[in-house]
Chains A and B, each alone.
Chain A
Amino acid sequence: MIADIGFYVIAAVIVLGALWAVTAKNILHAAMALITSFFGTAILYLQLSAEFVAVAQVLVYIGGVVIFVIFTILLTTRLGDRADIAPGMRKLLAFALSATLLGTFLHALVRSGVLTSSKQYADPHFASIERIGYRFLDTGTDGMLVPFEIISLLLLISVVGAIVIARKEEK
C-alpha cells in the first residue's frame, strides 16, 4: 500500500515535470523541468529494484546530458529569451495527434488485459551491479560483450564527430 502511494507520487512528479518541460516559455526552465522528471524516473527505477539503471540515469542524464543542454542554451541564447511555441492552429493539431496516440496506446493496454493480470516479480537481485557486470562481459551465447564494445566505439566516434561539427569553420 505504501509502495502504491509512493508510485503515484513519483508518477505525478515525472508527468508534471515532463509537461512543464514541453510547455515552458523559457527554454532554460524546460531544462530544469527535465531534471525533475529524470530524477523522478531514477526513483521509480529504485522502486523497481533496478539500482544500476537508477544510478546510470542520475549520472548520465542529469549529470551529463542535461548539463550539456544547459551549456548549449547558455551559449546560443540570450538569457530571458522566449522559446517560441508554435501558433495556436499547429498547437491544436499537435494536441489532437498526441491525444490520439495516447488513446491508441491505452486502448491496446486495456485490451491486452495487463491491468488485471496476476503479479509476478523478478527476484530482487535481477539488476544487481554484479549480475549486470558479468552479463556485459560474458562471451557466451547470451553474453553482451560484442554490443558492449560496439557501444564504446560508438561513444568514441560520436565524441570525435561532435568536435568536428561544432568547431568553427576556417576560411
Chain B
Amino acid sequence: MTLGYCLGLAFVLFAIGAYGVMTRRHLVGMLISVEIMLNAANINFVSFSYFRPGDATAGPIFTAFVIAIAACEMAVALAIVISMYHRHKSLDIDSLEELHG
C-alpha cells in the first residue's frame, strides 16, 4: 500500500463517477454518481496526508469539510428532486426541459 496505489484507486473511482454522471438519465442516479466522485476526492486528501505528511492533520480536517458540504448539497439537491417530481411526475432528465434556452 503506497501513495501511488491509493491515488490510482481514487482516479478509478473518479472516472467511474464521471461515467455515471454522463450515462444516468435519472436525477437521483446522477446524484449518486456525484457522491462517488466526491468520495474519490476524499480518498485523495486522506492518502496524501498519510503518505506525505507536511501538515498531516489538515488533510482529515479538509475531508470533514468535504463530507459536511456533500451533506448540504445532497439535502438541497434531493429537495429539488422532490419538487421536480411534484411538478412533472417524472425524473427523467430528458423530459425536464424547463431550463432549455
Contacts and interface: CB of A to CB of B under 8 A. Distances in A.
A163 B59 CA distance: 32
Contact of B56 (A98, A101, A119, A123): A123
Contact of B85 (A3, A56, A76, A91): A76
Given A7-B5, A60-B67, A68-B74, A126 B57 contact: yes
A94 B22 contact: yes
Interface in B14-69: 14-20, 22-26, 28-29, 31-33, 35-36, 39, 42-43, 46-47, 49-53, 55-61, 63-65, 67-69
A165 B17 contact: no
A123 B56 CA distance: 9
B39 A102 contact: no
B9 A21 contact: no
Q: How large is the interface on A (under 10, 10 to 19, 20 to 34, 35 or more residues)?
A: 35 or more
Classify chain B's interface size. Answer: 35 or more
A119 B50 CA distance: 10
A69 B80 CA distance: 12
A93 B59 CA distance: 35
B75 interface: yes
B23 A94 contact: yes
Nearest to B75: A162
Given A15-B9, A98-B22, A142-B55, A50 B32 contact: no
A37 B39 CA distance: 9
B82 interface: yes
B96 interface: no
Contacts of A115: 2, 4-5
A20 to B, nearest CB: 10
Given A27-B26, A121-B53, A44 B43 contact: yes
A165 B83 contact: yes
Interface in A96-114: 97-99, 101-102, 105-106, 109, 114
22 contacts: A4-B1, A11-B9, A19-B16, A22-B29, A22-B33, A23-B20, A48-B47, A69-B28, A69-B31, A77-B91, A86-B22, A98-B18, A114-B4, A114-B7, A115-B4, A116-B4, A117-B2, A127-B57, A159-B75, A161-B79, A162-B75, A166-B79
